Amino acid sequence: MGIGPDGEDLVVDVTVVTLGRCGGQIGREQCRAPGQAAVRAEKRKSSAVVENTGNTVAQEVAAQGMTFMPIGFDASGAPGSMWSTFIKTLSETAHMNRGHDELSYRRLWSVRVAMAVVKTGTEVAVRRYSGELGVRALAVRGVDDPCGPLQHGAAIDPFCGNDVDALMGVVS
């Protein structure tokens, strides 16, 4: 038995979007509000049309006896509107099947998922920044001391033996 509204299986499509990437006619400040970009991403996923059918993904999934649930998060870990429906259903099932406290279960998994989203976003940002920093570092260092301190005081430098993966322990 699945955890869908009528006991069917769920098809969950999770997406993480950058803050401020709403598109359309929404105002810039409203778009940057926590969770708004995620809500817009969920709506895009819900209305996406499957090639050669003219049906939405939700319609195609429903034709196979399942429920489609797009879940969005923004890069700060803020969920879209579908997360609360999903985690509530999941916690009710966990309570029925395993005796878990529903509220504690929802809180635990909401925090864990948000932190995983933030950690992954941070890792991507550090990798991107370290690549940019390396290029910038070549431009500001002298020829005599290629691995000396950077003029802007940054600590990450992939060109001088620092392992970005090892530095991730500081971030995680």
Confidence of residue 21 (pLDDT cuts 50, 70, 90): low
Average pLDDT on 141-151 reads 46
Our CA dihedral for 16, 20, 23, 27, rounded to 10 degrees, sits at 140
**C-alpha span between 42 and 157 (Å, rounded):** 37
Residue 135 has pLDDT above 60, yes or no: no
Helix (H) or strand (E) holding 16: strand 10-17
74: CB partners within 8 A, 6+ apart: 16, 17, 18, 19, 34, 35, 36, 37, 38
More confident residue, 55 or 138: 55
> Model's pTM, two decimal places?
0.64
